[in-house]
Amino acid sequence: MKPDVDSPQREMTISGSSVPIATLMNVLEGQAGRHIDRTGLKGLFDFEIQFSANGLSPTGPGFGPAPRAPSPTSPDPGVSLFTAMEERLGLKLESARGPVEVFVIDQVEKPSEN
């Protein structure tokens, strides 16, 4: 699987051949900053999706509302990741709340000199 970003148009392409859906979801989790694989799909898949990377933030969350429709004076923002996933792969990305694992550090001390 390979993600490509073309800087002039800020279009991103993610493609893969014989890839488990979990691998695609892991790539998207990096952009979303959250766990998103609730597909339950098994097997290997070939795919290619192209979408506008303009709405993706390098620090997340990357999944926001779809870009606004272009005005006559602004350039076309391109296809959102949401639209590309639904139209090309038939997968709908949804924001949801659920339990997450966290690691809490209550106290930190220097080790003794033993």
Contact 61, 35 (CB under 8 A): no
Cα–Cα distance for residue pair 30/37, rounded to 1 Å: 12
Please report, for the chain, the start and end positions of each structural domain, with discontinuous segments joined by +.
2-89
Sign for the CA dihedral angle at 43, 49, 55, 56 comes to positive
Task: Quote the DSSP letter at residue 51.
Answer: E
pLDDT digits (tens, 9 = 90+) for 7-37: 445 788 889 999 998 888 888 876 666 666 7
pTM to 2 decimal places: 0.56
Written as six digits, the tokens of 17 are 């051949």
Contact 41, 33 (CB under 8 A): no
Mean pLDDT value across residues 54-76 = 49
Mean pLDDT value across residues 42-47 = 92
Written as six digits, the tokens of 40 are 């339950």
Q: What is the pLDDT of residue 1?
A: 56
